[in-house]
Amino acid sequence: MADVTGPKKFHLSQTDKKIAGVCGGIAEYFGLDSTLVRLCFVLLMLVTAVFPLLLFYIIAALIAPRGPEL
């Protein structure tokens, strides 16, 4: 059966955010626990010498639309 709501879109979380809502939005998009996403994000930041993921986070926070406020 076709999805009548349309394609799933990424947005910044308005309800599950610590800084800008990027990790909360990723967790909502993939249906994961936001704490797990944040822990993986920090681990990947340490492995990649911080800068690449920090740059990704800043760009995502600036470009991604805000999610609906509940």
Specify if 12 maps to a domain: no
Specify if 55 maps to a domain: yes
Give the pLDDT of residue 69: 73
Average pLDDT, the chain: 87
* pLDDT tens per residue, range 41-67: 999 999 988 888 889 999 999 999 888
- Percentage of the chain modeled with pLDDT above 90: 50
Where is pLDDT greater, at 4 or 57? 57
Give the pLDDT of residue 1: 52
pTM above 0.85, yes or no: no
Specify if 69 maps to a domain: no
Full DSSP string of 14-54: SSS-SSSSHHHHHHHHHT--HHHHHHHHHHHHHHTTSHHHH
Residue 12 has what DSSP assignment? B
Task: Give me the number of domains the chain comprises.
Answer: 1
Longest dimension (CA), the chain: 44
The boundaries of the domain holding residue 48 are 22-63
What sign results for the dihedral spanned by CA atoms 69, 27, 37, 42? negative
Structure tokens at 70: 């509940």
Specify if 68 maps to a domain: no
Cα–Cα distance measured from residue 20 to residue 38, given in angstroms and rounded to the nearest whole number: 12
Specify if 28 maps to a domain: yes
